[in-house]
Amino acid sequence: MQNTPALLRFDLPDADATDRFGVALGSLLRAGDVLLLEGPIGAGKTHFARALIRARLGPAEDVPSPTFTLVQVYGADPEIWHADLYRLTHPDEAIELGLEEAFDTAICLIEWPERLGDLQPKKALFLRFSLTDAGAARQVQLFGDADWAQRLTALGQK
């Protein structure tokens, strides 16, 4: 993924833009989709995940950060798993959380995916969030295989 050009790039100048991006991408997801959310603390990963989850489940859905619980599971169809792996010290701990099984049946949003090591699903979509020089502004780049490139075509036109 590191040497692969980004499929798409979006500037997210404010929280509303991040919300709109979460809604748009969330509408394209299906069971077995894994989003690997990379970026430094404060880059917008959790805000994006919250917007996506609320877009699928409704705006009143309580979506706490999984920083301390490690995983939050939402009973949608399909289930949505939101994981923050920052505190993991070894990829085997992700197995104990049940993530490998969830990768096949749920929509998974994984913050700090490098903690998965070799457990990262090969068909995942990588989202690299970064801070920009404009203070609260963010940017996200999307990386994935040919299937993702085709599925994201509509997103690039919105």
Judged against a pLDDT cut of 90, whether residue 69 lies above it is answered with no
Judged against a pLDDT cut of 70, whether residue 76 lies above it is answered with yes
Residue 35 inside a domain? The answer is: yes
Residue 2 inside a domain? The answer is: no
Q: How many distinct structural domains can be found in the chain? A: 1
Task: Give residue 79's domain range.
Answer: 13-153
Residue 1 inside a domain? The answer is: no
Residue 7 inside a domain? The answer is: no
The most distant pair of C-alpha atoms in the chain lies apart, rounded to whole Å, by 40
The size of the chain, in residues, is: 158
Residue 22 inside a domain? The answer is: yes
Q: How does DSSP classify residue 136?
A: T
**Percent of the residues in the chain that have a pLDDT greater than 90, as a whole number:** 69
Residue 158 inside a domain? The answer is: no
**Percent of the residues in the chain that have a pLDDT greater than 70, as a whole number:** 95
Which residues, in sequence order, are CB contacts of 22 under 8 Å at separation 6+? 47, 48, 49, 50, 51, 52, 54, 55
Residue with tokens 């203070």: 135
pLDDT band at 157 (very low <50, low <70, confident <90, very high): low
pLDDT band at 158 (very low <50, low <70, confident <90, very high): very low
Q: For residue 57, give both structure tokens.
A: 């489940």
Judged against a pLDDT cut of 50, whether residue 42 lies above it is answered with yes
Q: What is the mean pLDDT of the chain?
A: 90
**Interval 88-141: pLDDT, tens:** 888 888 888 989 999 999 999 999 999 999 999 999 999 999 998 766 789 999
Residue 107's pLDDT is: 97
**Interval 47-64: pLDDT, tens:** 999 999 999 998 877 887
Residue 6 inside a domain? The answer is: no
* Whether the Cβ atoms of residue 81 and residue 108 lie closer than 8 Å to each other: yes
Residue 3 inside a domain? The answer is: no
Judged against a pLDDT cut of 90, whether residue 148 lies above it is answered with yes
Q: What is the CATH number of the domain that holds 62?
A: 3.40.50.300
